[in-house]
Amino acid sequence: MTSWQAAPAAATPVREPVMRVKNLMKRFRRNDGSIVTAINNISFDVYPGESVVLLGPSGCGKTTLLRCIAGLEDPDGGVIEFNGNTVFSSEAGINLRAELRQMAMVFQSYALWPHMTILENIAYPLHCLPAGSRPGRKEIAARVTDIMRKVGIGGLESQYPNTISGGQQQRVALCRALIAGTNMVLFDEPLSNVDAQIREKLRDELMEMQRAFGFASLFVTHDRHEAMVLADRVAVLNGGVVRQFDGPTDTYLHPADEFVARFVGPVNELDLSAREITGQAGEAVGQSPLGPIHGLLRAEAAADLVAIWRPEVARLGAEEPTSPNRWKCAIEVAKFHGSQTEFSVKVGERAFRVLTHGGGIPLPEGSTAWMSVEPRDVQFLARR
């Protein structure tokens, strides 16, 4: 794992995290009696104002992790700290109930109560404050109106949730999460049940709100594009384990293993049967079915290896290049997308993808060409 404890670029190291999760464990007993480890020893932290995205395939434990943090599920082990307070600790026997954790969550369905007006929905958390710190009716109304105006849904106070649009519902849910003054919001795939066209718009709005209000967020999604755009740091989850916790660029450029590499973007790969270290910085030569391949070793010595490179770092050309990694290939399909062209090529029986900027490369379908990739762009990763 690359930089587990590394502080995010956005936060200065002296700042304390808003939330810290240590060695969290959660098992479920299925109906047939078998045990599922939904969360297996997960640790991470979230800094003030930071956006952390939990990215992983469906069933990898994202929702469970979020629900454990919110107090809706009882973990089997570990520690959860929130704003310096321990809200859960298996060793100390602490398990604060959800209603006492003062966390805020935006649900997948937004979970707006259909029988309450928008005003009542948003004001709800204020009414739930203990008697001493609860503001008066007038102030509650004023605060709700104020936050609604700030997110751009002023005037909807007396509407019911079923009469407003999906985008407005998201903002209502966000207002409800923020109204009590929390500094962190949990999101469980809030964009997954809206149309693809609106999704991007809502996503951008969400980022805008976060910038405007300055809250930290823990955002769950299975969509890598969403994760990349939203995240200051991405935690890639699989099988209840954090595979990598890094900035989006690092995660994309330097994936920790084959799973992460494939999950965050398209890849070309070649199995390696043997490898030999040739330089100080991890330079190595591996033995692939297409002959020797030069790259950077990024796995423990004993691991089963695979050589991986992204389609956009590969090159295509009519002339033989100088790079040590070069193969003569057949152009099968060339798709012109405007800003880039996507090639499907074959080296022998093996298929590869190459993305080139712009069009105009005179490589028609059916012709032969040279594919190459620089050694620094090829990574030898552990197979998963």
Partner 1 sequence: MMFNVGLLAVFIIGLLYPIAKALVWAFYSDGSWDLSAFGQFAANDDAMRSVPVTLLIVGCASLVATTMGLVLAYLNERTDARMGLFTDMIPFIPLLMPSIAGAFGWVLALSPRIGYVNQLWMAIFGTAGPFNAFSVPALIFVYSIHGTTFAFLIISAALRNLDPSLEEQSRLCGASRGRTLTRVVLPAMLPSIAAAVLLVIWTTMGGLAVPAAMAQPAGIPIMSVQILRFLQFDYPPQYGPALVMAFIMVGIIGAVWLAAARIRKLGRHGTVGGKTRVAARRSLGRWKWVARGFILLWATIVVLVPLTCLALVALNGYWAGHLRLDNMSVAHILSVFEPGSLNLISLLNSVKAALIVATIGSVIAAIFSVFVTSRKSKLVTVADGVMKLPTILPGLVLAIGFVLAYAGRPFDLGGTFLILVIAFLLEQVPKGTLTTDPIAAQVGRELTEASQVSGASGFRTFWKVHFPLMLPGTIVAWALLFVHVIGDLDTSALVASVHNPTIGSQMLRLGENGDYPAVAALALLVVLMSTTTVTTVFVLSRGRKWA
Ligand X SMILES: Nc1ncnc2c1ncn2[C@@H]1O[C@H](COP(=O)(O)OP(=O)(O)O)[C@@H](O)[C@H]1O
- Would you call 95 helix, strand, or coil by DSSP? strand
b or e along 38-73 (b: 16 or more beta carbons within 10 Å of the residue's beta carbon)?
bbbebbbbbbbbbbbbbbbeeebbbbbbbbbbbbeb
Q: Helix axis angle, 137-150 relative to 118-127, nearest 10°? A: 120
- Calpha distance 288→304 (Å, rounded): 13
Complex with Mg ion: residue 56 or 247, whichever CB lies closer:
56
Binder to partner 1 among 160, 213, 252, 370 (CB under 8 A)?
160
Beta bridge partners of 21: 44, 80
Q: Establish if 347 lies at the interface with ligand X (CB under 6 A).
A: no
64 binds, among partner 1, ligand X, Mg ion, none (CB under 5 to 8 A by kind): ligand X
Q: Establish if 176 lies at the interface with partner 1 (CB under 8 A).
A: yes
Return the residues of window 344-373 that contact partner 1 according to CB under 8 A. none
Complex with partner 1: residue 160 or 213, whichever CB lies closer:
160
Q: Establish if 70 lies at the interface with partner 1 (CB under 8 A).
A: yes
Complex with ligand X: residue 19 or 39, whichever CB lies closer:
39
252 binds, among ligand X, partner 1, Mg ion, none (CB under 5 to 8 A by kind): none
Binder to Mg ion among 51, 63, 102, 379 (CB under 5 A)?
63
CA proximity to 92, closest of 8, 194, 195, 22: 22
Complex with partner 1: residue 42 or 105, whichever CB lies closer:
105
Q: Establish if 190 lies at the interface with partner 1 (CB under 8 A).
A: no
Complex with partner 1: residue 99 or 300, whichever CB lies closer:
99
Binder to partner 1 among 2, 85, 109, 278 (CB under 8 A)?
109
Burial class (CB within 10 angstroms; exposed 0-12, middle 13-18, buried 19+) of 268 = buried
Tokens 């692939």 correspond to 288
The Cα diameter of the chain in Å comes to 78
- Calpha distance 103→338 (Å, rounded): 45
Q: Establish if 161 lies at the interface with partner 1 (CB under 8 A).
A: yes
Enumerate long-range contacts of 126-135, CB under 8 Å, 24 or more apart: 126/179, 126/180, 128/99, 129/180
59 binds, among ligand X, Mg ion, partner 1, none (CB under 5 to 8 A by kind): ligand X
Q: Which two tokens stand for residue 36?
A: 């599922």
Q: Establish if 115 lies at the interface with partner 1 (CB under 8 A).
A: yes
Return the residues of window 23-62 that contact ligand X according to CB under 6 A. 28, 30, 36, 38, 56, 58-62
Q: How many residues does the chain have?
A: 384
Q: Establish if 96 lies at the interface with partner 1 (CB under 8 A).
A: no
The stretch near partner 1 (CB under 8 A) out of 5-13, 113-121, 219-227, 265-273 is: 113-121
- Would you call 282 helix, strand, or coil by DSSP? coil
Binder to ligand X among 64, 102, 121, 244 (CB under 6 A)?
64
Residues contributing to the site for ligand X (CB under 6 A): 28, 30, 36, 38, 56, 58-64
| Binding-site ranges for partner 1 (CB under 8 A) | 70-72, 97-105, 107-109, 111-115, 124-125, 128-129, 160-162, 176, 180
